[in-house]
Amino acid sequence: MIRWKAIAVLSVPNARFFSTLAILSLLAPRLLAQQPASAPHDGINVLILGDSLALCGFGKRLDERFRKSPFVKTTFTYLACGTNPLSWLKDRPYTSIKTHCGFVSIESAGPGRAKELEDVYGMRRGSVPGSHPVPKIEDLIAAIRPDILIMQTGTNLFDMFPDRKTVNPHRHGPELRNYLVPFVAKATRSPSTLRKIYWVASPTSGRVSKEIQDFVLEQTRADIGHLATVIDSRPLVSYPYKHMEPDREHFIGADMDEWADKVFGIVEHDLSLQPLASLKPLSETAVSLSPPAESPTPPAEKKEEPLQVSARLIFKTPPIPVKEFLPYQEFLVGYVYEVDHVIAGEYTEKQILVMHPAYIGLRRQWLRYRIGRTYKLRLHELEGTLWKTVKSKDDSGLINLQPYIRIEDEAKHPENAR
């Protein structure tokens, strides 16, 4: 069930507090010292975007904090489960992508009011969320004209590392850059009104190694830190969380409120350091976000001829229980094949890593592949497909192998199958 509701969000100061000019004159210097710097016009317009972690309470709490601030004119919040930065762009293959595991929008609807749409797990017993188009940053900026953007993201990028523990900087660095730079480039392209971007990186994950989390944060700062304030969320809330889900990554309750409150405090303090109106829109900066010449083609533009091989299965990664990857609905597992010969295309390695869907729409896929059997496989590189940041597991330890996916399985992604 989708719930719509209007909520009053602006607080009204106690009238007696300002009852006399004498009291006001005594308090004014102290109040002004505590206030953030003046915002453009009569208040700032705030846009908040987030993924499934934000759906666990972070997004609503942060929206509430901004919406109650006397220095904020409007707040628009959109939270979509399973998203990565490219999901919010119109570029292929994400042009018409939908979220199937939870969506919330909270939109300003006049002074002191907001319109809310909520479709998440648990709204009815045994129910799962419906499908919702992921809003596009190009449309949101044009319609809302935000002054600041709060972008909470990163958890789903951990699935670029299927073994959950090892980093290959020469491969993962350019791949990660291709998920970050296109988003920020679009968000700051003229006539964008954004003056500040706050990039809220993930809190501690118990699902992947510290090495991976450090790498993603450092790479994010290196790639977009000159245009966005990157916030490391790990010091803001303690792990393990008090109310943690089986995936050891999602959590709810007081820890979520604490995280949101601290992020709000960081943003509020930063905005107090100088008048936002004095900052030029990011679209007017001279800094280029064009990928360097050595970077691979961005996923949205990548073209690839199919690879066909005859190969013998030598290793299978077992799937995990559904409860360990909820709220997501798809999950990949890594299979390793020994290449007998290449039928079409080019491939020089002796072994090949193929990611097979173990679950689609929470339904178990019966992978009838047997160790020692030889199969003919028609493959695409996983990079550049909608499966790239789907939850996954690969126990092979062969981190130097570029992962592939069967062309038949690529077409089974919920978006491709519609």
Contact 66, 46 (CB under 8 A): yes
- Of 225, 249, 284, which one is at a domain's C-terminal end? 284
Angle at 56 between CA 54 and CA 58, to 5 degrees: 45
Examine residue 418 and state whether it is found in any structural domain, yes or no.
no
Q: Are 155 and 136 in contact (CB under 8 A)?
A: no
Do 153 and 79 belong together in one domain? yes
Question: Which residue from 300, 367, 280, 294 is spatially nearest to 331, judged by alpha carbons?
Answer: 367
Domain final residue pick, 284, 318, 335: 284
How many CA atoms within 13 Å lie on the side-chain side of 326? 15
Using alpha carbons, select from 408, 339, 416, 358 the residue that is nearest to residue 380: 408
Q: Are residues 182 and 240 in the same domain?
A: yes
Both 103 and 131 in one domain: the answer is yes
**pTM for the structure as a whole:** 0.81
pLDDT tens digit sequence for 386-413: 998 898 999 998 888 999 999 999 999 9
- Quick: pLDDT tens for 57-116: 999 999 999 999 999 999 999 999 999 999 999 998 899 999 999 999 999 988 878 999
| 70 occurs within a structural domain | yes
**Total structural domains within the chain:** 2
Can you state the percent helix, strand and coil of the chain, rounding each to 5? Answer: 30, 25, 45
Q: Do 64 and 145 share a domain, yes or no?
A: yes
Residue 254: pLDDT over 60: yes
Spatial CA neighbour of 51 closest among 82, 90, 96, 95: 82
414 pLDDT above the threshold of 50: yes
Domain that holds residue 191: 3-7+35-284
DSSP state letters, 304-325: ---EEEEEEEEEEPPP--GGGT
At 272, list the tokens.
């107090």
**Residue 198 and residue 310 in one domain:** no
Alpha-carbon distance 369 to 373, whole Å? Answer: 8
Q: What is the pLDDT of residue 14?
A: 42
Position 24 in a domain: no
Q: Note whether 182 and 86 are within 8 A (CB).
A: yes
Q: What CATH number corresponds to the domain at position 195?
A: 3.40.50.1110
Q: Based on the fold, state whether residues 247 and 308 are members of the same structural domain.
A: no
The three-point CA angle 22-24-27 to 5° equals 110
Question: In terms of domains, do 387 and 342 share one?
Answer: yes
Reported as a pLDDT band with limits 50, 70 and 90, residue 383 is confident
Q: Do residues 212 and 359 share a domain? A: no
Query: Based on the domain organization, do 373 and 340 belong to the same domain?
Result: yes
95 within a domain of the structure (yes/no): yes
pLDDT higher than 70, residue 329: yes
Q: Is residue 4 very low, low, confident or very high in pLDDT (cuts 50, 70, 90)?
A: very low
Residues 216 and 116 in one domain: yes
Same domain, 368 and 267: no
Question: Which of 230, 252, 284 corresponds to the end of one domain?
Answer: 284
pLDDT-derived band at 128 (thresholds 50, 70, 90) equals confident
**9 vs 314, more confident:** 314
CB distance 91 to 300 below 8 Å: yes
Is 298 inside a domain boundary? no
pLDDT for the residue 158: 94
For residue 304, the model assigns a pLDDT of: 62
Query: Do 276 and 198 have their domain in common?
Result: yes
Residue 49 lies in a domain: yes
Report yes or no on 27 lying in a domain: no
The tokens 């592949």 sit on which residue?
Answer: 369
Q: Is the dihedral of CA 348, 166, 250, 200 positive or negative?
A: negative
Inside any domain, residue 14: no
Query: Above 70 in pLDDT, residue 13?
Result: no
